[in-house]
Chain A
Amino acid sequence: ILNVEQSPQSLHVQEGDSTNFTCSFPSSNFYALHWYRWETAKSPEALFVMTLNGDEKKKGRISATLNTKEGYSYLYIKGSQPEDSATYLCAFITPNSGNTPLVFGKGTRLSVIA
């Protein structure tokens, strides 16, 4: 069974604080890692798709890094704003995932307090 672990499960930060959270995945046979942002009552939206070890991606105040050798990705949010409040999902693709092409973690729920 392939597991994608996200930590922490939830966190609360003050507006203006920077924060980060982790996605851990099996380091063998890596294909790609996806990050999605899911606001309550809306559709999950893709933030990043990362495929290469050492990849760094940035979108505004949000950035992500990827280490495929040790099996983790970090998502960073600089200067958190209330509109950043959402659940952040990571998903991992491996040729070993059988009939589940994309294996999702349980998400990190971020609340930004004004």
Chain B
Amino acid sequence: NAGVTQTPKFRILKIGQSMTLQCTQDMNHNYMYWYRQDPGMGLKLIYYSVGAGITDKGEVPNGYNVSRSTTEDFPLRLELAAPSQTSVYFCASSETGATNEKLFFGSGTQLSVL
């Protein structure tokens, strides 16, 4: 299994540009998550999904959109990039979302908005 795969690894955007961060997992996990990591801060949840066709807002959803058309894929869309969205983005998955279940993380996307 490849696990959780994120692309791209690095990206620089200009203010106002849009882009999609891709995330795919091959473990048949139901739950998928998008987090952002800002310097000196804990991981903050942006959006999550409990299964195909279902998405929910996390703690910091503003400026982002997601979709979950298949179990495997959970792309994160930035429509109008802003400097405040400069961060490291992690996608993660878990099998059933049970509280005693660990998360599997992708390798991250480092995004800079200039």
Contacts and interface: CB of A to CB of B under 8 A. Distances in A.
Interface residues of A, number: 25
Given A42-B107, A43-B106, A43-B107, A102 B45 contact: yes
Given A43-B106, A99-B57, A101-B48, A106 B42 contact: yes
Contacts of B56: 99
B34 interface: no
Interface stretch (A12-20, A45-53, A67-75, A77-85): A45-53
Interface in B33-85: 35, 40-45, 48, 56-59
A49 B42 CA distance: 18
A112 interface: no
B102 interface: yes
The size class of the interface chain B forms with chain A is 20 to 34
Contacts of A91: 43
Contacts of A42: 107
Given A43-B105, A89-B43, A106-B42, A101 B100 contact: no
B58 A49 contact: no
Given A32-B99, A32-B100, A89 B42 contact: yes
B90 A51 contact: no
A41 B10 CA distance: 11
B100 A106 contact: no
Nearest to B97: A101
Given A4-B42, A100-B59, A104-B42, A49 B102 contact: yes
A93 B105 contact: no
B40 A44 contact: no
B112 to A, nearest CB: 16
Nearest to B42: A104
7 contacts: A32-B100, A43-B4, A43-B105, A45-B105, A49-B100, A49-B102, A104-B35
Interface of B: 4, 35, 40-45, 48, 56-59, 90, 97, 99-108
Given A36-B103, A44-B105, A100-B58, 4 more contacts: A43-B104, A45-B105, A51-B100, A106-B40
